[in-house]
Structure 1
Amino acid sequence: MSTLTFLGAVGEVTGSRYLLEVDGNDRTHKLLLECGLHQGGIDADEANARPFGKLARELEGVVISHGHLDHAGLLPKLVREGYSGPIHCTRGTRDLLEIMLQDAAFVMAKDVEWENKWRKRQDKPLVEPLYDLDDVERTLALCEFHRYGQPVNLPGGATLVFRDAGHILGSAIVELTVPSGGQQKRLVFSGDLGNPSSVLMRDPDKVYEADVVLMESTYGDRDHRPLDETLEEFAQVLEKAHEAGGNVLIPAFAVGRTQEILYHLSVLYHEGRLRQQMVFLDSPMAIKVTELYHRARKALDAEDLKVLNIAASGDTSQYLPILRMTRTVEESMAINRIHGGAIIIAGAGMCTGGRIIHHFRYNLEKPNTRLVIVGFQAAGTLGRQIVDGAQRVRVLGQDLAVKAKVHTIGGFSAHAGQTDMIGWAGAFRNNPRFYLVHGEPAAQEALKAGLAESAIKAEIPAYGDRIEL
């Protein structure tokens, strides 16, 4: 009998990892579905540092739904510890992984450098990063990319098919057909389901056949506001920020959210509703991803691109004329000389590091600053502290008062809301077993109750739980 073991993203949003043990004719074959980084505090760091042990050499294949670090950020660590088999993903995911993993390795190297300077002074043992750029290069060399709908043979007689999840570039719903107990069983993993209202991405594919479904539940406790209301709120916040005379800070995820925010700023600009004088995209990684989205525009929603008149020619010179992309540290530091009238988009999306932290030092204590939160903030992150109303926060060794006005605009989410998830789950025939992953406990319980009202029974697994397919 083939089995699935839950090794991550249970009772939390990050750290996606599931071990599939396939009951082949000759022996058991081990496959890993997802290899995500845990995010959000000391517990996450400890979980990331835990060795894979002998599993790294026993695995015969890895399947990745999409390129966000919470789904793929530990791949180079797996390779560093001995994995040398194929990593199956889409082309968009492969291209994003090159950007995301190289950036993660660079940040880790810097963090470890600072940590070891302190450890030397304290006469403590030095630490090593989870992985380095050499590990990333070996990881990328193992990637095998596949088109949506293309069947792929895996060890043990399993078959893989990717479907469009509509979340970010290359994101996929994973279908795995697996021999189990003399039968063929179908396991479907939703990955991160996209929000049908968000721009640039196509709507998530519906899937109709499954025996077991793993479904994300990030926003399982609520629906997002309608997009037109969200855009009007966003426009009003920017207008009030202009009147107040301060800067607007937008912590944004480099993949997906940044490109969507730029899209909406472009629309507002061409409608004459954007009164700020300058928009800064202050994230080297987000800049690379934005350029990738431009190159891969044929994979994006054609109707949304028509609004910007760039689908045919690819000419982006008038996309957002006041946009400045700041790649270097010097360019980033120069932004801090601007005391008002600027929109600053920078990572990290959950305010756990990156250039947004430096902009906090210069803007967070100013009452005329507007901090616009446009993405999910996981428990334990600085962004979550601020959203939860912290009056003071610790930033780069400084204690800062949060005097900026904070706006949380949830309608920009690239994740499906509760109603969309229930609708997606309702398309399956023959009552498959549902397991809710990628959600905090309250969101999972709310989604479980919502599914029950539609006669869909779902379970919430715990870490280490093992099920038969």
Structure 2
Amino acid sequence: MHISFYGAAQAVTGSCFLIEAHGCNFLLDCGMAQGGQEADAHNENAFAFDVSSIDFVVLTHAHIDHSGLLPKLVAQGFKGPIYTTLATQDLLEVLLKDSAHIQIMDAERAARRKREGKKHERDVLPPLYSLAHVARTLELVKAKPYGKKFEVHPSVQVRFQDAGHILGSAIVELWLRDAHGRTQKLVSSGDLGQPGRVILRDPTPVQEADVLLIESTYGDRLHKDNASTLNELVDIVTRTVPHGNVVIPAFAVGRTQELLYHFIDLMQQGRLPPVEIFVDSPMAVAATEITMHHFAVFDEEAKQLMGTARQLPDVQHVHFIQDVEESIKLNRIKSGAVIISASGMCDAGRVLHHLRNNIGRPECAVVICGFQSYGSLGRRLVDGVKQVRMFGEQIDVRASVHTLGGFSAHADQKALLDWAGAFQPAPRHTYVVHGEPQAAQALAKELRSQHGHTVTVPTLGERFALQGLSANGS
């Protein structure tokens, strides 16, 4: 048995791991790389394996960097089942359709600019897949509840546990049986959430594994505590809205719902003035509705607050923007607005228009509250660039740019180490993935020193034998 790393190896995005088990081959995630030309090239060139050899896919959650290449896999002939959680099944329809739509729109815009003889920063590649491929992908999804072990092949059993990252996110437990009847247990953290966060429950501790795959997005740093993060948000908003707008690029799934929770709570407490909040992302609106349908997975604090605001579109001062005309009208607002819009890394979607209209105004603010991949516009803003190119024009960055890492949906270094410390004894081998090199190596060092793990930080395309078979794979 072997595992190969075809994505998220010394990089945060593009999750894709090929596991060769006894009698079958399967993928753990099939995600899109994000962040600039290198990511585009990676997505265009995937896959570096024989698609016809893949029997099934096990999907940790719906975020595009974990699921976004599933329709391409289907376009190239994959017809097997895709196993995931119940909430992820609901979210996939929204996210994959949006992904296809963005690719189609980008290609059409690039073709139009070329016909008009206009220059642009880089060529846009043809869409990786169509809406028809998305429809075929969704037909293959088989949803399973948390906490129930199920068989996907005579040699493979699976169980999903709550990862606390976004709605439906899962830690994956895999039991792999070899030709001699011996079993080893492989655990993938997927993306782990930060404990103590609102809405979702904390990540489920897992105590036994022979092999561990653990994410390391924030493997080299700690998040600010929740109180400090909220204080900073209150300060930014109260200083900005009398004269300008606050633009928050936010992932439509997870981050937007958490921000709404905090804004409602802060206004109910009187810590924020009654600012007008505009959620300008059809995908975020759909994801919010799906989130409310899965009320059972909320933590108790969120159930209490959101129970008083189940119909979010009716909450005073919160406005959900659906059509393009409504979105364009937001351009007329010069002050007093908080605009939450996708995409979270500022590389596509309606947020680009809001940035173009506000980023050149010193009275406005941009709040970055999630991880920004290398090469993305969001990363360049975080790094302090003075000019950005948007829609073919150069724009000076005059708005203040703030990074609120405390809102991250990813566990920080301490939370990752605490979760890994639950394994008793330590896994026989640990692979650190989903992190840029510095973050991955920092987490690997701490796993070795604090918990005695034998650790590898794999590179893209590396293949390893799954060693350390146990007698019963408990």
TM-score (norm 1): 0.94
**What is the match of residue 134 of structure 1?**
132
**What is the match of residue 445 of structure 1?**
441
Per-residue CA deviation, residues 50-109 of structure 1 (Å, 9 max, x unaligned), is 143772222111000000000000000000110001000001111000000011111111
Q: Are the equivalent residues in 1 in contact too, given 2:12–2:434 (CA < 8 A)?
A: yes
**What is the match of residue 159 of structure 1?**
157
**What is the match of residue 322 of structure 1?**
317
Distance 1:3 1:126 in 2: 36
What is the DSSP-based 3-state SS (H/G/I as helix, E as strand, rest coil) of the residue aligned with 2:55?
A: strand
Distance 2:100 2:366 in 1: 28
Per-residue CA deviation, residues 157-213 of structure 1 (Å, 9 max, x unaligned), is 111111110111110001111023632011100000011122100010011111110
Could you tell me how far 1:138 is from its partner in structure 2? Answer: 0.4
Look up the equivalent residue of 1:172 and give its one-letter code. Answer: A
What pairs with 1:17-32 in structure 2 (closer than 5 Å)?
17-24=16-23, 29-32=24-27
Q: Are the equivalent residues in 1 in contact too, given 2:6–2:48 (CA < 8 A)?
A: no
What pairs with 1:254-293 in structure 2 (closer than 5 Å)?
254-293=252-291
Match for 2:106 among 101, 111, 114?
Answer: 111
**What is the match of residue 463 of structure 1?**
460
1:184 aligns with 2:183: yes
Cα distance change on mapping 1:87 and 1:333 into 2, 3 Å: same
**What is the match of residue 6 of structure 1?**
5
Could you tell me how far 1:316 is from its partner in structure 2? Answer: 4.3
Look up the equivalent residue of 1:289 and give its one-letter code. Answer: A
Look up the equivalent residue of 1:280 and give its one-letter code. Answer: F
Distance 1:109 1:55 in 2: 26
What pairs with 1:214-253 in structure 2 (closer than 5 Å)?
214-243=213-242, 245-253=243-251
Q: Are the equivalent residues in 1 in contact too, given 2:155–2:178 (CA < 8 A)?
A: no
Distance 1:170 1:48 in 2: 25
1:96 aligns with 2:70: no
**What is the match of residue 83 of structure 1?**
78
What is the DSSP-based 3-state SS (H/G/I as helix, E as strand, rest coil) of the residue aligned with 1:335?
A: helix
Distance 1:18 1:64 in 2: 11
Match for 1:364 among 341, 344, 359?
Answer: 359
**What is the match of residue 436 of structure 1?**
432
What is the DSSP-based 3-state SS (H/G/I as helix, E as strand, rest coil) of the residue aligned with 1:436?
A: strand
What is the DSSP-based 3-state SS (H/G/I as helix, E as strand, rest coil) of the residue aligned with 1:336?
A: helix
Q: Which moved more, 1:49-58 or 1:402-411?
A: 49-58
Cα distance change on mapping 1:253 and 1:329 into 2, 3 Å: same
Distance 1:372 1:126 in 2: 28
Number of corresponding residues: 458
Q: Which moved more, 1:144-153 or 1:113-122?
A: 113-122
**What is the match of residue 120 of structure 2?**
none
Work out the percentage of aligned pairs sharing the same amino acid.
45
Could you tell me how far 1:143 is from its partner in structure 2? Answer: 0.2
Per-residue CA deviation, residues 389-420 of structure 1 (Å, 9 max, x unaligned), is 10111111110111001111110111111001
Q: Which moved more, 1:171-180 or 1:147-156?
A: 147-156
Could you tell me which runs of 5 or more consecutive residues in structure 1 were left unpaired when the two chains were aligned.
none
Look up the equivalent residue of 2:419 and give its one-letter code. Answer: W
Distance 2:366 2:46 in 1: 38
Distance 1:84 1:419 in 2: 40
Distance 1:54 1:116 in 2: 31
